Structure 1
Amino acid sequence: MNAITRTFAASLLAIALHAGTAHAAQPQAGDLQAAARAATIEGSTVVTADGVRLYYKDWGPKDGPVVTFSHGWPLSSDSWESQMLFLADQGYRVVAHDRRGHGRSSQPWDGNDMDHYADDLAAVITALDLRDVTVVGFSTGGGEVARYIGRHGTARVKKAVLVGAVTPFMLRTTDNPDGAPIELFDGFRKAARENRAQQYLDIASGPFFGFNRPGATPSAGLVQNFYVQGMQAGHRNTYDSIAAFSATDFRGDLAKFDVPTLVIHGGDDQIVPPAMSAQLVPRHVKHAEVILYPGAPHGITDTHKDRLNQDLLDFLRE
């Protein structure tokens, strides 16, 4: 594929992704608020206006300061358990849900895109009536947090944290030369169709935790935990999510951030390299503070959990 064809194909993917949600991308605020208010709580699930059941966990004192966690691809809220346990012990109310199509939530055929992810987060926040929230997102979840603020504003948000996030824009296009080529994401899709179980094992045992680096000591437990969470998710849902995290442009969403924002990223992140993500966020969020962990991989919620926990606590206490 020559350079012109490659650029054209990348642009087509981005256009196609947004065309499917063109009307939803610029909704009326009242419509969004009404949809969020329509969500109901049934046991350990929030049921959205379109009937999707979102499993959630709500730990810590119910009167504590609130922190929500949005997880990465293809994981679930379980991937945040170290941070949630730590902060709940510090007196915070910590809430995390399994994204639609992931973990213990419903596996809808449609709606596997960032607009729906953001609206689902809004449904959880509204159904539980959470206020003055610090919204934290990892990887794809960072995009979810950005799109939530872009669509729903910060009326209920106190602070924001992007951890290893896919913001501002992962895909290389004519106006985004810092992004990755479309062939990379096509490879993700091809591997998912051929053998997604092996794909998850390969990602976890290699670049996600940095176990492919010289001198690294692989953890079978971390690899298996990643695999189990990934295989809980729906095949269609995780497949569609590749386009959601790669071809969604979050630059306009970041421009709407008007709350204190912390960006934390592994310096040796092979999944979402900081040069195309964390280091570019200050172009769009002028007040953002960026912290890079030297030599750290993508999966810092596990590999660097003690440092991450402390950095989150320090930011929450500021």
Structure 2
Amino acid sequence: MLLSVYRSICTVLLFVSVSLFASEKQYTVTAPDGVTLAVQETGNPQGQPIIFIHGLLGSHLNWEKQWRDPQLQRFRLISFDLRGHGLSAKPTQSTAYSEGRRWADDVATVIEGSAAQRPMLVGWSLGGAVISHYLAAFGDSHIGGALYVDGVVELAPEQIPPHPQVYAAMISPDLRTHLDGERAFLRLCFHQQPDEVTFQRLLANAALASWEMQRAVPSMHVDLERGLGKATVPVQFIYGAKDRLVNPQTSLARARGVNPTIGTTLYADSGHAPFVEEPQRFNRQLAAFADALR
């Protein structure tokens, strides 16, 4: 009798597990300048939409620990590969990456193309700057809130710790040097290093990123006052206290300077990627913030 009950429970759990991910889909949208963006979705199609925006050298694969968390499946989880990354198009003109409006248009295109109603935006690292570009160009009337995760507030020396050898290697025309630079950059992303399989996947992911994009992004200007400074929706900032790529203290001070209403959390045991290093805590906070927006 007990064995029969156990088998029934396992069958139900398997059915639920399969059902949770049955809604996964992939499609493309096209930005105003013609760049094709790869979009991915999972979770509840009728749930509250959350749009994830990855960082430099990443793709939607960065969000695997959120994508596969059963507790987040009640939300409509949407991600997209930034221009120059992953499965999205990789234009060769530097202006395709240095102009903030292009990144803003990409977010607006994903919101429109997915028909997401007042989504919550989650931006990691470079993805934080992308959120600020969107706010500066479109305001916040079409979103419910924003979460910056070790977000780049501005590309300012006091906010970005110097790693000149790493960044020089990343844009080197020599392939060996370039790939070694990508590996070194990825290692800097984590205080708690991921398992080797995950790291190698992320390294391959980084190798897909456009070299032109990596050369152009440092010249990007973030109009913080017109973007984050004008935001009226709830905005949260999460940083890993041991971040080696973005200075949490100076970045938060600058963000508070333009918008004193932002909420902040420091993860003491994380580096630049708390959503990978402390995923359970991060996912609970993500869900709580999304619920509060409703």
**Normalization by structure 2: what TM-score?**
0.82
Aligned residue in 1 for 2:22: none
Match of 1:290 among 243, 246, 264: 264
Report the Cα distance in structure 2 between the residues aligned to 1:109 and 1:237, rounded to whole angstroms: 8
Cα distance change, pair 107–191 in 1 and its aligned pair in 2 (3 A) = closer
Partner residue, 1:265: 239
Partner residue of 2:254 out of 269, 280, 297: 280
**Equivalent position of 1:52 in the other structure:** 35
Counterpart of 1:222 in structure 2 is 198
Task: Say if 2:107 is the partner of 1:154.
Answer: no
CA 1:87 to 1:259, structure 2 compared with 1: closer, same or farther past 3 Å? farther
1:235 corresponds to 2:207: no
Contact 2:132 2:223 in 1 (8 A): no
SS in 1 for 2:101: helix
Shift of 1:221: 2.4
Q: CA deviation at 1:185?
A: 5.8
Match of 2:97 in 1: 112
**Are the counterparts in 2 of residues 60 and 88 from structure 1 also a CA contact under 8 Å?**
no
Amino acid at match of 1:222: T
In the alignment, which residue of structure 1 is the partner of 2:279? 305
Residues 155 and 222 in structure 2, CA contact (< 8 A), matched pair in contact too: yes
Residue in structure 1 matching 2:189, options 193, 208, 220: 208
CA contact (8 A) 2:169 2:180 kept: no
State whether residues 240 and 274 of structure 2, in contact with CA within 8 Å, keep that contact through their aligned partners in structure 1: yes
Other structure's SS at 1:315 match: helix
| Aligned-partner Cα distance in 2 for 1:57–1:218 | 23
Runs of 4+ aligned structure 1 residues displaced above 6 Å come to none
Question: Does residue 178 of structure 2 align to residue 192 of structure 1?
Answer: no
Contact conserved, 1:88 with 1:94, CA < 8 A, in 2?
A: no
Gaps of 5+ in 2: 1-25
Q: 1:88 to 1:99 in 2, by over 3 A?
A: farther
In 1, the alpha carbon distance for the partners of 2:36 and 2:71 equals: 25
Please state how far the C-alpha of 1:52 moved relative to its aligned partner: 1.1
SS in structure 2 at match of 1:255: helix
Distance 2:252 2:149 in 1: 9
Q: Contact between 2:44 and 2:73, CA under 8 Å: does it hold in 1?
A: no
Deviation readout 1:117-156 (Å, 9 max, x if unpaired): 1111111111222112101100000110111011111121
CA contact (8 A) 1:266 1:298 kept: yes
Structure 1 residues 218, 156: CA separation in 2 closer, same or farther (over 3 Å shift)?
A: closer
Question: SS at 1:69's partner residue?
Answer: strand
SS of corresponding position for 2:69? helix
State the alpha-carbon separation in 1 of the partners of residues 254 and 240 from structure 2. 14
1:130 pairs, out of 101, 116, 121, with 116
Match of 2:6 in 1: none
The 2-side partners of 1:180 and 1:90 are apart by 34
Aligned partners of 1:267 and 1:293 also within 8 Å? yes
Number of residue pairs matched by the alignment: 261
Q: CA deviation at 1:191?
A: 3.9
Q: Note the aligned Cα RMSD (angstroms).
A: 2.2
Q: Secondary structure at the match of 1:137?
A: strand
Q: Structure 1 residues 96 and 218 mapped into 2: Cα distance closer, same or farther (>3 Å)?
A: closer
Amino acid corresponding to residue 59 of structure 1 in structure 2: T
1:315 aligns with 2:289: yes
Deviations 1:211-244 (A, max 9, x none): 6xxxxx6632232122111111222123222333
Aligned residue type for 2:222: T
User: Considering only CA atoms, is the larger Rg found in Structure 1 or Structure 2?
Assistant: 2
Structure 1 counterpart of 2:55, which letter? G
Moved more, 269-278 or 137-146: 269-278
Give CA-to-partner distance per residue, 1:284-307, whole Å, 9 cap, x none.
Answer: 222111000113100212111111
Following the alignment from structure 1 to structure 2, what is the Cα–Cα distance between the partners of residues 251 and 295?
A: 31
Q: Is the 8 A contact 1:59 1:84 kept in 2?
A: yes
Identity rate, percent: 24
Asked if 1:139 is matched to 2:139, the reply is: no
